[in-house]
Amino acid sequence: MLSTIPIYIALTDFGIGTAAGVEMTRHLERGDDTAANRVYQSGWVFLTLISFLSGATVWVGIGIWHKYDATMYDMQVAAGLMVAASILTLQVFVLRAVFTATHNFAKGQFVNDLAIPIEGLGVVIVAWSGGV
């Protein structure tokens, strides 16, 4: 249940990370670094806006549909942590696209895969501490 919010928010990238990677690769192969940088910045801004809009929706949704035994503060802190994880996930999509476009796919995949045990460790620490 804890990973539901980050997964749904991660799905809101609408393929922008992949599309940005393809466009950056195309521009870099032509030697047009300025256009590649523009694609990166546009993709990053779009995904950041989507992240914050999704996070705000979750935050407001908790306030409207508060039906659980946990306090509102606990729920908002938990949602805030999940949204922060989601924002990082979306940012990794753009970062991975940059690694792919610059022919460093293996490094990008390593960075992406390194996030999985770190996220898992975070969940374990929160669970061992008795929640938020």
Q: Answer yes or no: pTM beyond 0.75.
A: no
* More confident site: 11 or 27: 27
What's residue 65's pLDDT?
64
Which tokens go with 81? 């942590």
As a whole number of angstroms, the distance between CA 89 and CA 9 comes to 9
DSSP per position, 31-67: T-HHHHHHHHHHHHHHHHHHHHHHHHHHHHHHHHS--
Domain boundaries, the chain: 4-128
132 — pLDDT class (breaks 50, 70, 90):
low
